[in-house]
Structure 1
């Protein structure tokens, strides 16, 4: 495979709306059909489109051989991308509008999320030069020039897939530009995104997708847009319970307004720093040199976690001990023998080891009130933790603000289990490899928390027991009765059924069914 890009590894700010994975996947599915294409990415940014092309290539061919040429005006971006590209691909630090097709050859496809820089934001001289060069009219934004130039790089029969601003669908210059592109392709489809995508940089902007096939093999009229969800679902097929969802959302508080969220402990080498009880005993490491640690979502199946539960998991073979000695002990001690498995080269090349003094002393962080699960299939959970429990950076630490009462904290945990919370997760979460929902810190901070209408202790304990027994449906019923019924009134059960239909539809699409 030619590349694997971490979507959070590249940062730039050039009027860019970094591509959500769902939109990137739609574009990639249009362009990548054999798994052996030559693909041009004219403004690679944080690499989401290349990631999506790789995923799609692996779906259609067992041993894909996609060749990328990635461009970006930001040299720092290219340095990062270049490290991740295979030998059959290349990255160029260049303004795409200055790239010459003679220097690259022609491509099977172009995958693009061009800058949305508006016409009035361009330097006047540059605006004049671009207008003459591409023969554009009106207030054409930079994305128009990008698309016109991109067509010069396509072989006959090639494909183009690009994100465009929503304004392109109704502005005179936008429609003129799209018609000009349509004139060069045998088939064109435009998908209007009916909800706001969760842009990776948090921008508040709707968008649309331009999908074109058969370059210079026919001419198309500008099609009417078809309506799609930002989650990759045709709007006509997606049951939308907007009124009920909005009614509840209007009464919610973002989690980030009642709690602070942070990453968990970073070990730098989980295979060494995390142990189970059998390993601890074999090395004769004292419990005082260890810290109870949650490192997997499976360690917290319910709504509560404490040291005793983690110790039972360690006895069952789960790595729920963090190596956290105050000193290394005598020569030949278990702590020293364990740490000796990390080579000097590994220590020198691991960023987190170089940040720490001494390198082996992991900062397990302060106590947290709860743990927010990071990667999920059926939505995240907020698990209440005792003060002696920590988590690794595969989960998020949550500390409630001092003024937040106990019932509101329980409401926060129950909110994520409720039908409303599960739908909020499908709308807010980012779909990643394997169809899982991922919640970065900034996503988790936005999660809507329902108000506490009454004493929730009994409902919380029952939901905790149900989840611990693997019965999510019963836990959800308990949370719905405690939190949603008081807000929705006598018809609450019928309203919840409508919300559930949308949840099921979104999950089926996310899971690739």
Structure 2
């Protein structure tokens, strides 16, 4: 099957793998207007796709790796110069320089942005003073490479993922932009620029190449409106505060100054500790084949698996009760015939005949081919099984759960294992875990995921604030709950929900 090259109907091949989600025309026209000051300005689009940015300016140069998209770009913008090939190779050798750059760089996560292209991209960034991490998605090096080709005094205007507001790999990019441009502006837009995508997108504008700035200008908008110039700044983010108070994140600046002061004051109180100070926090075990290793009671009985080889396990947050998992809670799951029995075998142990029969079943033949099973010896010995003091939600919708594990169950990597360093801190955790203060901290320290979910990586969970009783008593709970609701609205999970108290 051939792909139509009609610019009005063209859809690129392998959209997701190439990060080729093309920009709405109103957004493209606006960004070109922000970047271009004169019709003689030379404009670069480093990933020009089908040419919708190029067609907005008479003196434009684009680079596109996909031959079909490049052909469409040449048709759509016949006056533009379109180079077909890898942008980073081209950028490393070109002598061309530009008055401005605009576009929508591809968003390809680090797992797929790999090989020679990735190596060349990160080397080029390092050459220009941007030390991006190995976890950087493709859009970040595109911005650095494009920015390095902008002349003194020049400008950039780009679509960027909302990850620029929270991802650790985005922080070195922001540092580089502020050291390279006299004005750096992030435009956060709550309503989706790309309604069909789970990812949110914001906008970046930078001007005064060759200068530097000590702050990020941030504009917070409910929805995008086409404009010929960048919108007015709504909040000034000093880099010193961004680094020291907000852990190099812009997401807290979606909130009002009053809401930020509420959380900053809570976090800085002498009696406030972080969850990582009180406990080790990390995801549970990786079985490699959850459906095989987690058995229902009926399945365990059918295969005659000895109870001594079955460890109670909570497979996901939906299985957890609201506050405490105890024996009665496990018994309820057993009555429901939920898959809560982890087959726990060790290297070198004598495997009973009944268990061998299960391991050699058709399901076992499939399970042993899974990657994590394939690379361990023996394939059926699940490593790193912990029995934590608490389970913490890894991904949450309405609220984050921190559930005490009185049943001595374990969990896979769909939940965090929280193990106290000192059992005397049970009281401190118990006082906080079902309060608005806890939910507020989780929302600010965590980050949004597609579909409206909140995700807490281990490093983020370790930063969750655990205030003392005086801090909890001093907290404006109404404002805290309003702030939680606002952050949920920004991650598209808005409910009129009040959080339970102890």
TM-score by structure 2 length? 0.55
2:499 alignment counterpart: none
Alignment of 1:27-426 (within 5 A): 69=65, 94-95=88-89, 97-98=91-92, 109-111=103-105, 121=129, 144-146=147-149, 160-162=158-160, 165=174, 173-175=181-183, 224-227=232-235, 235=254, 238=256, 240-251=258-269, 252-325=272-345, 327-330=350-353, 333=354, 336-337=357-358, 339-342=360-363, 347-348=368-369, 350-363=370-383, 365-386=385-406, 388-401=408-421, 404-406=422-424, 408-426=425-443
Q: How many aligned positions are there?
A: 348
What are the residue-to-residue correspondences of 1:441-460 with 2, within 5 Å? 441-452=458-469
Q: CA deviation at 1:293?
A: 0.4
Q: Give the SS at the match of 2:433.
A: helix
Q: Distance in 1 between matches of 2:304 and 2:95?
A: 65
Deviation digits for residues 459-492 of structure 1 (CA, Å, limit 9, x no counterpart):
xxxxxxxxxxxxxxxxxxxxxxxx622xx1xxx5
Q: Distance in 1 between matches of 2:302 and 2:429?
A: 41
How far apart, CA to CA, are the structure 2 residues paired with 1:175 and 1:446? 31
Question: RMSD of the alignment, in Å?
Answer: 5.2
3-state SS of 2:148 partner = helix
Q: Is the 8 A contact 1:262 1:398 kept in 2?
A: yes
Contact 2:286 2:413 in 1 (8 A): yes
1:99 Cα shift?
7.1
1:95-116, CA deviations, whole angstroms, 9 ceiling, x for partnerless residues? Answer: 56237799xxxx9942279989
Over residues 33-77 of structure 1, what are the superposed CA-to-partner deviations in whole Å (9 max), with x where a residue is unaligned? 9xxxxxx877xxxxxxxxxxxxxxxxxxxxxxxxx959xxxxxxx
Once the two structures are TM-superposed, the CA of residue 383 in structure 1 deviates from its matched residue by 1.7
| 5+ residue gaps, structure 2 | 1-13, 30-44, 48-63, 67-83, 108-120, 132-143, 165-172, 187-201, 207-213, 221-225, 238-248, 495-502
Distance 1:484 1:422 in 2: 12
How far off is 1:91 after superposition? 9.7
Structure 1 residues 29 and 220, CA, compared in 2 at 3 Å: closer, same or farther? Answer: closer
Shift of 1:440: 0.8
- TM-aligned CA distance change 1:226 to 1:285, over 3 Å: same
Cα–Cα, structure 1 residues 239 and 452, in superposed 2: closer, same or farther, change >3 Å?
closer
Instruction: Answer yes or no: is the 8 Å Cα contact 2:185–2:219 preserved in 1.
Output: no
Unaligned runs of 5+ in 1: 7-24, 34-39, 43-67, 71-89, 124-140, 179-187, 193-204, 212-217, 454-482
- What's the secondary structure of 1:317's corresponding residue? coil
Report the structure, 1 or 2, having the larger helix content. Answer: 1
Task: Name the CA distance, whole Å, in 2 between partners of 1:94 and 1:30.
Answer: 28
2:486 matched to 1:505?
Answer: yes
What is the Cα deviation at residue 224 of structure 1?
A: 4.3
TM-score, with structure 1 as normaliser = 0.54
Q: Distance in 1 between matches of 2:372 and 2:404?
A: 28
Distance 1:308 1:512, change over 3 A: closer
Evaluate the alpha carbon distance shift between residue 269 and residue 219 of structure 1 in structure 2; reply closer, same or farther with a 3 A threshold. closer
Specify which of 472, 478, 486 is matched with residue 484 of structure 1: 472
CA shift in 2, pair 1:394/1:300, >3 Å: same
